[in-house]
Chains A and B, each alone.
Chain A
Amino acid sequence: MAEATEGRRLNANDLWVLATVVGMTAVTVLTRSLFFLSTTPWRLPGWVQAALQIAPIAALAAVIAPEIVTTQGQLIDSWRDARLFGVAAATAWYVWRRGLLGTIVVGMAVYMPLHIGLGW
């Protein structure tokens, strides 16, 4: 359980993860500097600009949704899942107050008692 934070020996998978993390650093630099690269001015076509607005939203939603409504690849079939209540509370806070930190804190405040106390 806690082995992740111990200094265990690296295996092949760890090296692969490490390479992925280095790749993510390159992604950070490239996406933030994309328009800094060329000295000749250029513009993206309109449809690409429109796609640039939507892709981050789609990527976030696509990563989040399965983490909330599936367990080991199966759609959950019970409402007794702490994640649903945590998300509901976080969403209610966001609608009311808009703060990112509050959204996380309120969501966890509802999620943790249900998850730890009731085992949901």
Chain B
Amino acid sequence: MKQSLIAHPDFRVGVREMLTVAPGIAAWGLMTGVAMAKSGMSLAAMLTMATLVFAGSSQLAALPLLAAGAPMWVILATASCVNLRFVVFSAHLRPYVMHQRLWRRLFSGYLFADLSYVLFVRRFPQPATEARGRAAQDAYWLGSGVAAWVTWTGTGLLGIGFAASVPQSWGLAFAGILALLGILYSLLSGPLQATSAAVAAAAAVAAFALPLKLNILVAIAAATAAAMMWPKPRRAAA
């Protein structure tokens, strides 16, 4: 079945459309590789992270926490929160994958990220209702996902290799913080979002003395609670 998906013309379309945005993924992957190498992780942990995790913002967010020796559950909770946007995407993509078996759906979930999600719903605004349409969608999903994974992982490994030849004192790890800052700005779609970010930032700094990096969780709780009290009624995102 996989074989036929790879042979399907939409597999190539998925690869090609992903390659048009690949320079962005490549720059991002290179930078994440550098940030990983500068975080003090063991080579084994870096390579595992570069090849398996496949979620740039949660990788970058985890690095300062790993370096500070935060407990595993705090790191995983933070990674989950950064990844919560994907939960929203998964609700949207559900009708496209429910014809697949469970393990295949999990693999489909692993393969999609921000860009592949945007490209996919642009090409397939409606879920297919018959087998031919489903095959096209599955093939496109696989093609764009694999292209993104290869680009991301390849450039991440390149970044790890490149960083070894750059002294720590250059402060390249700061690029990781700037990348997170750019993602954060892109999420600030209105005053509610901006206020929430400000509340979280202030709470994280104010509670910095807490052990175990718990200031991160305190900040998330404070900002979410503040958002719940926001006066205007808001629609859930479509």
Contact = CB atoms under 8 A, between A and B. Distances in A.
Contacts of B200: 57-59, 61-62, 65
A70 B210 CA distance: 14
Nearest to B117: A32
A18 B44 contact: yes
Interface residues of B, number: 107
Nearest to B217: A62
B121 interface: no
A68 B177 contact: yes
Given A36-B108, A104-B175, A56 B37 contact: no
User: Looking at chain A's contact residues, is the secondary structure mostly helix, strand, loop, or mixed?
Assistant: helix
A57 B184 contact: yes
Interface in A1-38: 1-2, 4-8, 10, 13-14, 16-25, 27-37
Contact of A24 (B59, B209, B224): B59
Contact of A90 (B94, B160, B163, B181): B181
A27 B42 contact: no
Interface residues of A, number: 78
B45 A14 contact: yes
Nearest to B192: A54
**Residue of A6, A41, A53, A101 with most partner-chain B CB within 10 A:** A53
Contacts of B204: 61-63, 65-66
**Residue of A25, A62, A82, A116 with most partner-chain B CB within 10 A:** A62
Nearest to A54: B227
Interface string B170-183: 11101101111111
A65 B205 contact: yes
Contacts of B1: none
Interface string B212-238: 000110011011100110000010110
User: Looking at chain B's contact residues, is the secondary structure mostly helix, strand, loop, or mixed?
Assistant: helix
Contacts of A25: 52-54
B75 interface: yes
Given A28-B53, A31-B86, A60 B227 contact: no
Contacts of A39: 98
Contacts of B55: 24, 27-28
5 contacts: A63-B216, A69-B205, A104-B182, A108-B175, A116-B169
| The 6 A-B residue pairs with the shortest CB-CB distance in the complex, in nearest-first order | A33-B109, A62-B219, A58-B223, A65-B201, A59-B81, A32-B109
Interface of A: 1-2, 4-8, 10, 13-14, 16-25, 27-37, 39, 41, 44, 46-47, 49-70, 73, 75, 82-83, 86-87, 90-91, 94, 98, 100-101, 103-104, 107-108, 111-112, 115-116
Interface of B: 24, 27-28, 31, 37-46, 48-49, 52-55, 57-59, 61-62, 64-66, 69, 72, 75-76, 78-91, 93-94, 97-98, 102, 105-106, 108-110, 112-113, 160, 163-164, 167-172, 174-175, 177-188, 192-193, 196-205, 208-209, 215-216, 219-220, 222-224, 227-228, 234, 236-237
Given A32-B112, A36-B98, A64-B184, 18 more contacts: A1-B169, A2-B164, A5-B164, A10-B42, A14-B42, A24-B58, A24-B59, A33-B108, A35-B91, A54-B192, A54-B193, A54-B227, A57-B184, A60-B61, A62-B215, A64-B181, A66-B204, A116-B171
